[in-house]
Amino acid sequence: MMTISRHGARLTLALAVMIVPSVCAQAARGAQADKVLVSRAAVTLPAYRDIAERPLIRLYAPQADYERARADGTFVMERIVYKSDGLEVVALLYRTRAAGTGRGTIVFNRGSYIRQNTAPEYLVTFHRLAAAGYTVLAPMYRGSEGAAGVDQMGGAELHDLMQVAELAAELPAVNAQALFLLGESRGGMMVLQALRDGFPAQAAAVYGAPTDFFALFADDPGQYEPLADQLWPGWRQRRDEILGRRSAVCWARRIDVPLLILHGGADDSMPVTQSLALARHLEALGKLYELHIYAAENHMISGRAADRDASIAAWFRRHGPRMGADARNDSH
């Protein structure tokens, strides 16, 4: 009996030794499968003379500002590939070269529709925000920057933004406990939807953002109706649902973080009434917000871009967690 018992004990132990590594291996594979980050690589930024003919580069990046930012060795830009809804999508990360813990992270949401090779256009904006003390993480959305998938302009690609909250936890350069949302134009619509759906932002800011698609379509159906047919599946059958999903005035009560709204007074792409309408709803609801109208400025407020970005950084400092007196200089 004792021999059998000892043999049984040895057999049990041997089985345990065989099983435990197998279980651990499975757990490791499961943890790996749950990871969001796929890859990261440094972005090489071209000289201004090589991109000067791009339609938008002068709007976003005056030559002197661009070359100053490109020459600043304090920071590096990376191309991040991450998982969203089974797709591999792209984000840009702008950070200091060294590692640290003191910086908040601005999740920047670009404007427009499908875009490619946008890093040079956003370099100057990212550099200003980084110099103000922040890391910048910018989802580009499915269909852009070589990624698969279909951009629905405020539809399924919202998940690419929501997934950034998980991606942040896997990037040492990103403070996942101090995230801020920033969006320009269409990106402002994405920010507002993300707030509605619970993105863990400390505060948010938008400029040139559409907030009431019902008003846009009523004011200029000739411009918007043909686009809707192309962009939104089931448009004719689900019109109110589609417009309501993208119109923050319909669910302003669900915006529960401090919101800075900026708009160019001479914006001929998105009427300033769009920002005024959202501000009226937030005011009636007693929400915490500020509205800044920049007289004579365009859609991107590009003539006062430095002031625009300084106001945004100040808003995030005011409403974010206290990062310490040396947060601007902390390498991250």
Three-state DSSP class for 223?
helix
Per-residue pLDDT averaged across 118-126, rounded? 97
152 has a pLDDT exceeding 90: yes
Contacts (Cβ under 8 Å, ≥6 apart) of 45: 70, 77, 119, 120, 123
Does the pLDDT at position 240 exceed 50?
Answer: yes
| Six-digit token string for 230 | 């192309």
User: Residue 237: is its pLDDT beyond 60?
Assistant: yes
| 98-124: average pLDDT | 90
Element (H, E) at 30: helix 2-34
Q: Distance between CA 250 and CA 281 in Å, rounded?
A: 9
Question: Does 19 score more than 70 pLDDT?
Answer: no
Domains in the chain: boundaries: 1-34, 38-212+247-329
CA 198 to chain centre: 14
How deeply is 297 buried, as exposed, middle or buried, from its count of CB atoms within 10 A (0-12, 13-18, 19+)?
buried
| Distance of alpha carbon 109 from alpha carbon 162, whole angstroms | 12
pLDDT tens-digit map of 189-204: 999 999 999 999 999 9
Threshold 0.75, pTM exceeds: yes
DSSP bridge pairs for 79: 41, 92
**Topology of the domain comprising 38-212+247-329:** Rossmann fold (3.40.50)
d(CA 135, CA 131): 9
Q: Across all residues in the chain, what is the average pLDDT?
A: 89
Show Cβ contacts of residue 22 under 8 Å, excluding neighbours closer than 6 positions: none
Q: What is the DSSP letter of 302?
A: G
Structure-block tokens of residue 124: 């100057």
Give tens-digit pLDDT for 247-258.
999 999 999 999
